[in-house]
């Protein structure tokens, strides 16, 4: 099937609305959050990998959006912890994690872990429009630490990867079922198994969840739309149908 960019699709669906709040967990070098800053959104980013802080800080200051940009240098999990081991790999800048799921992972630091419940309280945020989570196997824990009892993001993008979460007590269904239980309309965007981290990956399909994976070693992303966002869900459903016909 080739390529598909879930974050670009979400920007198309929601990025034109009046300025909102985006929370980017696992911000990497800021490619997903940058267009939201440019559109005047408030962006709260979390990135525990110190090798990425300089570019993220420059992004906020350099674009003159520092008043709308907060960078938390903590790992994000279900509960607050004073310290946890953090791992990086020379294979790819994109697989830094609290979980050493590759032989190439090396302990690089001890980091503080905070829940989104704590961070949003510190930031005095009462509503989130777009929540993006990409934490290399920790996504379920991140969502469990979100204060859904107080607020529900309009749209959520969160990664799953069966190889990263093996033996962790949850799988892609845990993520999908959690989102469904919170009354989201949920789509599963599946990619073929990763051949090489840091390389180009091949996209397979997007379809409404609940559904099964085409390959048990697959990875991908869930896109979840809050139940009152009927127009966004409808447009996403239309796009999924278009892509299915093109397959």
Three-class SS of 76-105: ECCCCEEEEEEEEECCEEEEEECCCCCCCC
Higher pLDDT, 22 or 198: 22
- The percent of residues in the chain predicted with pLDDT above 70, rounded, is 97
Which pLDDT score is estimated for 3?
67
User: Shortest CA distance to 15 belongs to which of 178, 132, 117?
Assistant: 132
Please, are residues 177 and 157 in contact by the beta-carbon 8 Å criterion?
A: no
Which pLDDT score is estimated for 67?
85
Instruction: Sketch out the chain's domains with CATH numbers.
Output: 6-246 (3.40.50.150)
- Has residue 2 got a pLDDT over 60? no
- Give Cα 212 distance to the centre of its chain: 21
pTM: 0.95
């Amino acid at each position: 099937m080739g390529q598909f960019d879930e974050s670009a699709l979400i920007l198309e669906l929601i990025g034109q609305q009046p300025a909102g709040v985006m929370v980017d967990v696992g911000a990497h070098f800021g490619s997903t959050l940058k267009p939201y800053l440019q559109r005047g959104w408030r962006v709260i980013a979390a990135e525990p990998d110190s090798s990425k802080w300089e570019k993220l800080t420059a992004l906020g200051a350099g674009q003159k959006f520092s008043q709308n940009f907060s960078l938390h240098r903590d790992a994000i999990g279900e509960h607050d912890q004073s310290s946890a081991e953090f791992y990086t790999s020379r294979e790819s800048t994109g697989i830094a994690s609290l979980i050493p799921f590759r032989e190439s992972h090396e302990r690089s630091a001890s980091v503080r872990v905070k829940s989104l419940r704590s961070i949003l309280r510190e930031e005095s945020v009462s509503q989130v429009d777009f929540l993006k989570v990409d934490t290399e196997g920790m996504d379920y824990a991140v969502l469990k630490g979100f204060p859904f009892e107080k607020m529900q993001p309009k749209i959520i993008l969160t990664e799953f990867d069966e190889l990263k979460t093996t033996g962790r007590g949850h799988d892609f269904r845990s993520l999908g079922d959690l989102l469904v239980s919170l009354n989201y309309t949920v789509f599963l965007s599946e990619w073929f198994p990763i051949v090489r981290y840091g390389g180009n990956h091949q996209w397979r399909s997007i379809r409404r969840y609940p559904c099964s994976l085409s390959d048990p070693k697959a990875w991908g992303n869930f896109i979840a739309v809050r139940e009152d966002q009927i127009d966004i869900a409808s447009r996403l459903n239309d796009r999924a149908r278009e892509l299915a016909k093109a397959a």
